Structure 1
Amino acid sequence: MDILIVDDETVIREGIQRTLQNRFPEHHIHLAANAEQAITMLRGHHIHIVLTDILMPGMTGLELMNMSRGRHPHVKWVVISAYSEFVYAQEAVRLGAKDYLLKPIGKEVLAEMIGKLSEEIARETELTEETDLLKMNRRYLQEAVFQRWALGLDIGRIDMTPFMEQHPYFNLIMVKMESDKVVHLENFIIENVLQELIKQYGKGFVTVHDSKSLLGLVTLSESGSLTLLIDELRSHLVKYLKVPFQIMSTERIEQFQSVPSEVQRMRQAAITQVYEHYASGSDRSIEVALQYIRTHYHADLSLEKVAAIVYLNPVYFSQLFKQKTGQGFKEYVIHLRLEQAKQLLMNPKLKLAEVAERIGYQDMRHFSQVFRKKYAVTPSEYRQEQQLSITDKC
């Protein structure tokens, strides 16, 4: 049997490990210092019992438990709490925890509890292991086949009739993330939250679409509402995700053959749709970009180049830039350059070609056209007006 101990305090984590190894040498003990490590362990091992601290940095033990139940329904959860956290322990029991341990943890109490849970698990395993394995294999096969179909890939001679009978009509929901880092934890969060909401509003499943996107299929119940489901999904993701994301959905689909084209439509929509802006550091990224633009306005300033400097996807950077400044990237750069040109035109010793070059225009004619479009006069006319104005004042 496999037991996972999740606690950010090394002394407690290793103390429980020693006690269990002495009393139950036949069990495999795994350790995790936080929720992210615990998620990796749950995915990589067939964990039977999880002992988790409640208050940890990042995701709490209760959040870990609540979000993992759908993916790992067989796991027995036991929470570890201090007396001051007793109300959390009660909430854990309400969520389905088998028991709770109060710090400091007594060795006999711990051993007795693990012994009882081991007997319970042995009985359940004998009855359900084969059935669960069949169900899981069927589910994974169904999701894998659907994933290939959604990508427009060949599914061979697999008969999709049983699937279509289960879902004669359905909606698709796509969640797409924007991040330059690996998003294993974020994928896990989206998958579990969306799966739980699909169960709440109807039936269906969630599958990975690509490294940054997940695709959910839901057949809504009579009382189910796609709008409410998506609103609740957005609310949860805003709370738990630390990266920008998009949520897209389809109208009700009744023809299974239309899935690939609907998925492609959502992928196209993602190109122009605004991300949910809850990424930490996004304001700082735009500040850095603006500083760079102000000091390099005379150089080659493409959107792609500036986006790369602040490590953002160009599409997301463009959307974020407009949201933060109120102007599109190109519009902002042109305005900055022309304002600088107006200042330079006040110097009669500078030729118009020099002014154009100093603000980043190698083509004098193009500079003149852009200036005239913005101010309704050519650069030379503007210079003459300013000189006349100065003469009049004198």
Structure 2
Amino acid sequence: MYRILLADDEGIMLESLKKIIETEYGNECEIHCAKSGRVVVEMAQAYPPDICFMDIQMPGISGIQAIREIQKFNSSAVFVIITAYDKFNYAKEAVNLGVQEFLTKPVNKKVILETCAKMMTKVDQIRQKRSDDLLIREKLETVVPMIESGYINNILLQDDFVTYQDNYTQLLDIRQKYGYMMVIEFGDSMENGVLSNAVGASVKANKFYSTFREIAQGFFECLVGPIMGNRIVLLVPYENAKEDYEDRVAIVTRARNMVHKFENRIDSMFRCGIGRVKELGSVKESFKEAVVALRESISHVVHIEDVPAAQKYDGEYPRDLEIRYQKRILEKDAAGAMNCAEGFFEWMHSQQAVTREDIEIKILEMVMNAERRAFFAGTLKYNVNSRRSYIRELQSCTDIENLKKWFLDKTREICTKLENSKEKEAGSIIDRAKEYINENFRRDISLDDVSREVDISPYYFSKLFKQETGKNFIEYLTEIRLKNARELLQDSRLSIKEICAQSGYSDPNYFSRIFKKYEGVTPSEFRERLG
């Protein structure tokens, strides 16, 4: 079936064209007619045509203008211009619009039918191309996720993944040289930042994976990795070598909206950790940072830059127990680290070939290694001479049990120092924020201004400020401003309007309402009470 639209202001011409086409093609064609440019555009919207026979000169909107309007909402229609000899100067503009044929009046039956057959062939070609494109797209939608999963698997699991990187970037048409990784965790519920039922969630993930992928790629131009336990990893190609503050805030905001949409569409809870921008050849480091960001925070969405005292950690050890020990240390999980330490110590003690001296050296190595990694992660401070007593302490241990106690005590001590360091860092951020507010409360400052000053995202700053001070940003700012106002009201030389301006308010009426809300009286009444 072909839908044909005939447009000509001459009724006889329209009837002739319609009769010729209907006689030749019968029910193969659905024909509609219009006598003006406006009507033909409206009809093309109501009955989108495959083929248009268009007279150039019509009342109101010309045929050329009508073609231009129709192409805005129907790019696949083919057009045939019908024109008189003296109107042929329109031809150049018509060619630019992609008109297929020009017919000059009077037009005989043979020419009309030949042109119609040619246009039908053109429509068939367009339909076939559309069908082929859809088929290719369907195949790509099956293949591309597999390639993306392969690329992300390669990044995370292969030491020499750079060898294959060019192949993947060409296949996936990745032109950027940089990128960052996001780790999405999911589970049935969340308590203290930990998602429950990871195993059950990973089984459920197979059902929602396609929806997850659709949502993620709606918010970020990203590659979506495979399901890995209760995690899915995203790789977001990025133009620049580093994201600035505004970009980082925008990324966190978008990620937060993405997580909300996940939870609205999918029956699970979600968390998202975001790493720094890296060269694609080093983007695995961004993955590690995203994992640390998740581990160091209880927020739904957290960027590694917004986590006090949380940095990447480097190096791997050949034994699982050693690896877990170092991880638990950096997680400030004292109980977990001590369990690993005790297990490793018992393993050493059970080996016949291992002497007491071997045990002393190994536990000293593990403790110093943990301190070194914590130091380079920026979460622990110590002086060069801070360990001079370690060897003496080990040698003074009278038996194996005392050696074990020394190892466990040191492990607990490191975790405690790390936890205190994290709290101190958070306190430092809030101290800087308070200092900025105290110095600038007279200006029109916002939460965004303060979070920019301390270099963390507004979302994270808002939560941290409330957590550390017990007040939200606006409450704290209002308290500072009103304290200043109360002090100024004791000076009778200043008007209420002047005090309002010097306290950070531009509207005296609003200032009075806020003052009364907190103080119970207006500024004028407060001054009168002072006498």
Q: TM-score, normalised by structure 1?
A: 0.36
Larger radius of gyration: 2
Q: TM-score, normalised by structure 2?
A: 0.27
